[in-house]
Amino acid sequence: MRMFNGRCAGRGLSVAALLVGAALGSAVASPDARAADAAKSVSARVESFATQRIVYNPTTRTTSSTIRPVGPRGPGGCPSVVQSVANCFDSINVGSEVTLQLGMVEGEGFGSTYAIADPNPGTPQNEAFPIEVQVVEFFAATPATGIGANVDMGYTIEVWDGEPGQSGSSLVFTVTSADPNVDPGLPPDISLPRVTGVQPCDDLTLLLGGAPNASAVKVQFSVDATADPVDRMIVNGTSGTGLVSIVVKIDRHNQPGATACSTVSFCNNAFLCTEGSTVSPCSTGTSNPATPTFLSRNWLSAIACAGGCPSGFTRFSNLSTGFGGCRPSRDVLQQITTVASVCAGVFQGACCVASTGGCTLQTTSNCTAAGGTYQGDNTVCSPNPCPQPTGACCNTTTGACTITTSASCAGGSFQGNGSSCTPSPCPEPSGACCTGTGGCATLEQSTCIQLAGSFIPGVACTVNNTCPLGACCLPSGACVANLSSPACVAQGGTFQGVSSSCGSVSCPQPVGACCTTTGSCTSVTQAVCQLFGGTWQGAFSACSGACAPTAGVCCRGATCAQSVPQASCSPLSGVGVVFSTATSCGTSSTTPCCFADFDKLGGIDVGDVFAYLNAWFANSPYAKFAGDGVASPQVGDIFSFLNAWFAGGC
C-alpha cells in the first residue's frame, strides 16, 4: 500500500461520491499514473453469482495429533455457530450490490476477528476452546467484461488464535490455493466468468464513478472432516483472548503488475469485496451506515509500499477516512462457521426435508427435531439424496397434466409442490383444427372435436387458412408426402407431423404369411421372410391354410423317389438322404440323385462301398440301384453301383 501527497492512494473511495471510502492503493512509477489512482473502490451490482465450495483434502499423516475429538460435550452435543462481520452476508445474490476493493495488489487482503462465547463466564479460561473452524466464507468479484477465459485469483487463508499479527496471537492454519492443473493437491484458485452483454469495462470509467456490473463468487472453504486434526482449522485458545481471526489475502492476480507495488488492471483481475453502499437492515437495524459496523474487528493487511497505507495488520478503526483515506467504507464480506472441536466426533449425515426436498448436514437428533428424515451417519448432500417433492406439470403444447418434480417439468409449467392433476389445472391447448376439405382454423381441442375436425396441438394454420402438411404412412407401408392430417386419416394412414417428409420418417411395414420349404408358416414382413428363404404370401395374409408342405425328389442310398413331401424324406441308419425340389428322377445316375454317394456324406469315397454292401446284404430296398425304395436288390445291382462309383461324376 502507498501514500500519494501524504494520503493513502485512493483504494476504498466511494467513486459515486468521490468523498469517502478506503484508500487501498499501490505504487506506480509516474505522477500521471498516481493521479489516476485517486479512487479505487467501486460499488457494483452483482450481474452473475456463483458459489465455489472448496474442500481441502490434506495428505494423511502417520503421526498422532495433540488434539483429537473426544465425543460430544453435554446433552445433545455442540451446535455449529455462524458468525459474520457483514450485516447481509447471506443476502448477496444476483442483483445485490457489493463493493470491489479494486486496488489491492498481490499479498494484500482483509481479516476479521470473531469472539467465541464463553459457555461458563467467570472461570479462568474460555471453556468453548478448543474450537474447529468448519467453514470460511468470503466474496470475490470482477468487473471484467467480454467473452474469453475466466478471471482467476489465487488466495491464501490464515486462521489466527487471537487477533492477526498481535502480541500473544499465533497463526495456527494457513493454506494457499493453486492452479489445479499444476498442483491438484491444493485448493483450486477462484475462477470467475466475465460479465457479458454490458458496456466493456474501462479502468478510467471506474475511477470516475462508474458503477459496473460484476461477476461475483462466494467461496466456501472447508477442510475434509476426516483429515488429521493437526491439518484442520482447530484453534486451542492459547492466546487467552477468546478470539479467532480469519485473514484472506490475494496471493496471485490474473494480470499482476510489473512490480509488487505496481497498479494492477481493474478490468482484468478479481478483487476481495466489502458490503455495497446500500446495506439492508438485515441484522443491525441500521440502513446504509456511513462507516463499517465492526471497525475494530475488521483488518486491513497491506504490504510495504513507499508512501502507502500502514503495512502489516491494521484495524479499520485505526485507518484514516475521507478523500485518499485508507479505511474501507463498509464491512468486509466474510463469515465463518465454528464448532467446539470436542464435538467433531458427533456423527452427522444428510437430513431431508420432505416439503422442499432440501438437504442439510445434521445430527440425527437435530434432524428429527426439525421434522426431517435422517439418511444415516456420514451421508452427504452432494449429490442430493433427498426425494424431491412432486406436483402438477402442465404440458404447454398438449395441455396434458402429469405429476412430477419441478426439475423434471422442464419445458412445462410446474404448478407447485403438492399440486394435483385432479381437477386439471392446465389450460386447454389451442392448435390447428383441420377439416376434411382442407380448411383450417386455430381452435381449442374440445371445440375442434365438436366440429369433427382433426386437431394438431401447438401448430398454427398455414397461409390462407389451409391445413399444414406432412408425410403420411399408409397401411401398405408406403409413404405419401404433403398430405394434411385429415387427408392422411381418410386413406387409413398415420400422419407423421407438420413439415415431416418421407425422407425423414420410417413407415412401419405390413406383415403377412411367410411359408417355409417345410410348409410351416409365420407372420412377418416381406423383408424378413425373404431373409430366411421363405415365400411371402402378401400384406395382411393369414397363415391359416396359406402354406402346403413342399414335395420333391427324395434321394435315399442308391434310389430316387418322386413326389415325396420334404418332411417325409428322412434319413435312415447307414443310408444317406438328400431332398431335391426337382419334379422327377430323370434317367441320370448323378442328378438329381447321386447313386454312388450312398451315405450322402458329401462326396464319393470308400465308405460308400461298405455302406452299400451292408445295405445289400441286409436286403435293403435302398440298395436297389436306380430303384424307388420299394423293390429288393439283385446281384446285378452290385455291379451297377460299382460301375457308378468308379465313374464318379457327382
pLDDT digits (tens, 9 = 90+) for 90-99: 888 888 888 9
Quick one: CA torsion of 580, 582, 583, 589, rounded to 10 degrees?
-90
* Mean pLDDT for all residues in the chain: 83
Is the pLDDT at 534 greater than 80, yes or no? yes
Is the pLDDT at 72 greater than 50, yes or no? no
pLDDT at res. 289: 58
Distance of CA 38 to the CA centre of its chain: 46
pLDDT at res. 356: 84
Q: Using a pLDDT cut of 70, give the percent of the chain over it.
A: 86
pLDDT at res. 170: 95
Are 276 and 330 spatial neighbours (Cβ–Cβ below 8 Å)? yes
pLDDT tens string 319-343: 988 767 788 888 999 999 998 865 6
Instruction: Domain ranges for the chain, please list them.
Output: 3-340, 430-498, 509-548, 552-647
Q: Kindly write down the DSSP assignment for every residue of 465-511, as one continuous string.
A: GBPPEEEEE-TTS-EEEEEEHHHHHHTT-EEEEET--TTT--PPPPE
pLDDT tens string 601-619: 878 999 999 999 999 999 9
Nearest to 37 by CA among 252, 171, 220, 208: 208
pLDDT tens string 133-176: 999 999 999 999 988 899 999 999 999 999 999 999 999 999 99
Is the pLDDT at 86 greater than 80, yes or no? yes
Which of 82-86, 136-140, 444-448 has maximum average pLDDT? 136-140
Q: Kindly write down the DSSP assignment for every residue of 112-163, as one continuous string.
A: EEEEPPPSSTTSSS-TT-SEEEEEEEEEEEE--BSSSSPEEEEEEEEEEESS
Nearest-5° Cα angle at 260, 204 to 233: 105
Residue entry with cell 489465487: 154
More confident residue, 473 or 448: 473
Are 432 and 465 spatial neighbours (Cβ–Cβ below 8 Å)? no
Are 215 and 48 spatial neighbours (Cβ–Cβ below 8 Å)? yes
Categorize the per-residue pLDDT at 3 as very low, low, confident or very high, splitting at 50, 70 and 90.
very low
Bridge partners, 8 (sequence order): 3
Choose the weakest-confidence range: 73-77, 398-402, 514-518: 73-77
Per-residue pLDDT, averaged over 257-277, amounts to 90
More confident residue, 303 or 287: 303
Choose the weakest-confidence range: 67-76, 340-349, 407-416, 587-596: 67-76
More confident residue, 585 or 532: 585
Which of 244-258, 297-311, 457-471 has maximum average pLDDT? 244-258
Task: Quote the CA–CA distance of 245 and 160 in Å, as a whole number.
Answer: 5
Q: How many CA atoms lie within 13 A of 3 on its CB side?
A: 10
Per-residue pLDDT, averaged over 356-382, amounts to 81
pLDDT tens string 416-445: 998 999 998 998 888 889 887 778 998 888
Choose the weakest-confidence range: 178-182, 205-209, 284-288, 466-470: 284-288
pTM higher than 0.85 for the full model? no
pLDDT tens string 463-508: 788 899 999 999 999 999 998 888 898 899 999 988 899 999 999 9
Categorize the per-residue pLDDT at 345 as very low, low, confident or very high, splitting at 50, 70 and 90.
low
